[in-house]
């Protein structure tokens, strides 16, 4: 520990002890560790906010491939590495090589931080994943404050990266540093994986996790990710699943060149007509996917699941209003959430080669490519889905007796992720949430695809949990991103309480 920081910590500790003495008469029972930790976090919340401010000021944008921003990213990772060293962690900043840009240039990839604190074989080892890069932000895009100056308005801390993901990473660090400052034993061994390329597709991360599987990750028991949001503004959540995605293209071709409808219209099987029929055969107007067999492997809904969906806090009217949609395909909260999270969906995205400019042009495209994707859920098998889609399109196409050629391919396949919510860390997190927030969490999933959870689960083969801290209206990736002071500070307490619950449950 930096000697100056050491002095600061001990003087803080002294003032805390004084305060405790003042607050408790001799006859009160000694405050428990948890109360002590919570009080410390409350008393030091302005310092925690100040550190977040120092992190938000770094323009660690990984999306725009500019050398200046890349330098900022390196600076950000160095700041985090220093912070972790001050906590007493052993820190390895792993060089991750270079990023190849489409224009042929290369940019250095910021190091991935692998850090660890404690290696007591009697304690569980919890590995925390987070990222410190951010999406681009410019005040001209509609920010009310400078995106890189953390600004507090009505308890909301506005700034790029405040909720995604600098705030949650610091909340974890705040929890650890509280035990350190109080000179209390950490209840768990902790490992950190912190990257700086998440918003650019986590370049180099999967490779590193594979490489470190039997070294850094060998003693990891649990993996925690805090990189998503609650479903509500006030009620905390635990996330136990995400959908996968398989992306398809279907090409219909007559010839390379386009035709004029005055000279060829009436004597051709038009590729666009074939494609529209093919795309039209995929899903009906109630959202039901028409590909035979596609629902066969979808996990049946259990009674326990029904109860979980019922307990979720979602104001459907507000959700509808804020989405600016007149009517959804379903009327109840349960049906809507289930169709977003635990049933597959098929979406049609676009047609390459189509005439899509304003005005009227009498072209017959000679070749068109339709694009659609299916969000996958447990226990759909991607190679089975691929086969079913191809068979269905081939059958539909053959019925048209078209002289054109059709080619279907699956261009991307990402597996869904689902966790066992009976696992110890889910139980510990539920207890910690109930202690800090006085309510059980919403048990939620995410309808989109977040590959990192599945990657950790597949490679390390340990329980993965998403434990979000941010509220639904935090606006990650958007203008005026924020984290509420309340979420940040109570979130720091939540992690501390989680460590204590983990230690109690682990055997
Ligand atoms: C939704 O919008 C309607 C019509 O604009 C309004 O009457 C209603 O109060 C809104 N409900 C919520 C929960 O915001
Ligand atoms: C998916 O299905 C294929 C073909 O039926 C099978 O070989 C494969 O083992 C299945 N994969 C999983 C993960 O079940
Ligand atoms: C399909 O088209 C061929 C000519 O390309 C024609 O001979 C045949 O009768 C058609 N079959 C059907 C079922 O329309
Ligand atoms: Zn994020």
Measure CA 436 to chain center: 23
* Residue at which a domain ends, from 398, 414, 430: 414
**457 falls within a domain:** yes
Q: What is the CATH number of the domain that holds 64?
A: 3.40.630.10
Q: Please say if 198 is a catalytic residue.
A: yes
| pLDDT tens by residue, 462-489 | 999 999 999 999 999 999 999 999 999 9
Please indicate, yes or no, if residue 104 is contained in any of the structural domains. Answer: yes
Burial of 78 from C-beta contacts in 10 A (0-12 / 13-18 / 19+): middle
Residue at which a domain ends, from 414, 433, 467:
414
284 and 197 together in one domain: no
| Phi, psi dihedrals of residue 299, rounded to the nearest 5° | -60, 135
Check whether 288 is labelled as a binding-site residue.
no
The number of folded domains in the chain is 2
C-alpha 477 to ligand 4 mean position (Å): 8
For residues 123 and 232, membership in a common domain is answered with yes
Asked whether residue 227 falls in the same domain as residue 356, the answer is no
Q: Which band of pLDDT confidence, cut at 50, 70 and 90, is reported for residue 31? A: low
Q: Is the CB of 296 under 6 A from ligand 2?
A: no
Q: Is 352 one of the catalytic residues?
A: no
Predicted confidence at residue 318, as pLDDT, reads 87
| Same domain (yes/no): 399, 420 | no
What band does 111 get if pLDDT is binned at 50, 70 and 90?
Answer: very high
Residue 315 lies inside a defined structural domain of this protein = no
- Supply the residue whose CA is at minimum distance from atom 12 of ligand 1: 318
215 domain residue, yes or no: yes
Same domain, 379 and 487: no
Same domain, 215 and 227: yes
Residue 142 lies in a domain: yes
Which numbered atom of ligand 2 lies nearest the CA of 382?
1
Residue 58 and residue 166 in one domain: yes
pTM for the model stands at 0.87
Asked if residue 3 is part of any domain, the answer here is no
Instruction: Compute the distance between CA of residue 152 and CA of residue 485 in angstroms, rounded to an integer.
Output: 8
* For ligand 1, atom 6: residue with the closest CA: 321
Of the residues 116, 133, 442, 481, only one is catalytic, namely: 133
Q: What local confidence, expressed as pLDDT, does residue 322 receive? A: 85
Which domain does 252 fall in, by range? 244-298+343-414
Q: Are residues 276 and 190 in the same domain?
A: no
Which residue, by CA, sits nearest to atom 11 of ligand 2?
381
pLDDT reading at 16 higher than 90: no
Tell me: do 70 and 119 sit in the same domain.
yes
Predicted local distance difference test score (pLDDT) of residue 8: 42
447-471 mean pLDDT: 95
**CATH code for the domain of 278:** 3.30.70.360
The answer on 390 and 432 residing in a single domain is no
**Are residues 206 and 69 part of one domain?**
yes
Determine the pLDDT at residue 24: 39
Does the beta carbon of 98 sit less than 6 angstroms from any atom of ligand 2? no
pLDDT tens sequence across 193-219: 999 999 998 999 999 999 999 999 999
320, part of any domain: no
Percent of the chain with pLDDT over 70: 94
* Boundary of a domain, candidates 374, 391, 414: 414
pLDDT digits (tens, 9 = 90+) for 57-107: 999 999 999 999 999 999 999 999 999 999 999 999 999 899 988 889 999
The more confident residue out of 391 and 101 is 391
**Are 387 and 409 found together in one domain?**
yes
From 316, 317, 327, 333, give the residue whose CB has the most ligand 1 atoms within 8 Å, as the site to mutate.
317
How confident is the model at residue 323, as a pLDDT? 86
Other CB atoms within 10 A of residue 379 CB? 11
What secondary structure does DSSP assign to 171-191, as a single string?
A: HHHHHHHHHHHTTPPPSSEEE
Q: What is the largest CA-CA distance in the chain?
A: 99
**What average pLDDT score do residues 39-49 get?**
98
């Amino acid at each position: 520990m930096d000697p100056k920081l050491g002095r600061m910590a001990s003087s803080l500790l002294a003032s805390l002890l004084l305060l405790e003495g003042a607050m408790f008469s001799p006859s009160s029972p000694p405050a428990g560790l948890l109360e002590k930790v919570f009080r410390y976090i409350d008393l030091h919340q302005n310092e925690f906010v100040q550190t977040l401010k120092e992190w938000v000021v770094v323009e660690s944008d990984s999306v725009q491939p500019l050398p200046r921003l890349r330098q900022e990213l390196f600076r950000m990772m160095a700041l985090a590495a220093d912070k972790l060293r001050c906590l007493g962690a052993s820190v390895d900043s792993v060089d991750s090589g270079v990023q190849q840009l489409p224009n042929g240039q290369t940019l250095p990839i910021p190091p991935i931080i692998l850090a660890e604190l404690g290696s007591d074989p009697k304690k569980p080892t919890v590995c925390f994943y987070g990222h410190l890069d951010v999406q681009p932000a410019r005040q001209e895009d509609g920010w009310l404050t400078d995106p890189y100056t953390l600004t507090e308005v009505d308890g909301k801390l506005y700034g790029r990266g405040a909720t995604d993901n600098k705030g949650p990473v610091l909340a974890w660090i705040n929890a650890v540093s509280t035990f350190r400052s109080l000179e209390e034993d950490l209840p768990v061994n902790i490992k950190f994986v912190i990257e700086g390329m998440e918003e650019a597709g986590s370049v180099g991360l999967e490779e590193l996790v594979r490489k470190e599987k039997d070294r850094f990750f060998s003693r990891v028991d649990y993996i925690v990710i805090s990189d998503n949001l609650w479903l509500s503004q006030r009620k905390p959540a635990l996330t136990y699943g995400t959908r996968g995605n398989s992306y398809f293209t279907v090409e219909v071709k007559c010839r390379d060149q386009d035709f004029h409808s005055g000279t060829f219209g009436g004597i051709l099987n038009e590729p666009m007509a074939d494609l529209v029929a093919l795309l039209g055969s995929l899903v009906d107007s109630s959202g039901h996917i028409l590909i035979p067999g596609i629902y066969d492997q979808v996990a049946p809904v259990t009674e326990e699941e029904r109860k979980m969906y019922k307990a979720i806090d979602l104001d459907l009217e507000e959700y509808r209003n804020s989405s600016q949609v007149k009517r959804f395909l379903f009327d109840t909260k349960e049906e809507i959430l289930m169709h977003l999270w635990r049933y597959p969906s098929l979406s049609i995205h676009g047609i390459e080669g189509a005439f899509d400019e304003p005005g009227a042009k009498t072209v017959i495209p000679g070749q068109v490519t339709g694009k659609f994707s299916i969000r996958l859920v447990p226990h759909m098998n991607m190679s089975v889905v691929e086969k079913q889609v191809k068979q269905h399109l081939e059958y539909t196409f053959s019925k048209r007796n078209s002289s054109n050629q059709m080619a279907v391919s699956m261009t991307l396949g990402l597996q869904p992720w689902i966790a066992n919510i009976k696992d110890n860390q889910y139980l510990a997190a539920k207890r910690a949430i109930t202690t800090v927030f006085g309510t059980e969490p919403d048990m939620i999933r995410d309808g989109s695809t977040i590959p990192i959870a599945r990657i950790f689960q597949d490679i390390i083969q340990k329980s993965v949990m998403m434990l979000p801290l941010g509220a639904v209206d935090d606006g990650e990736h958007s203008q005026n991103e924020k984290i509420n002071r309340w979420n940040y500070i109570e979130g720091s307490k939540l992690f501390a309480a989680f460590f204590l619950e983990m230690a109690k449950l682990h055997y």
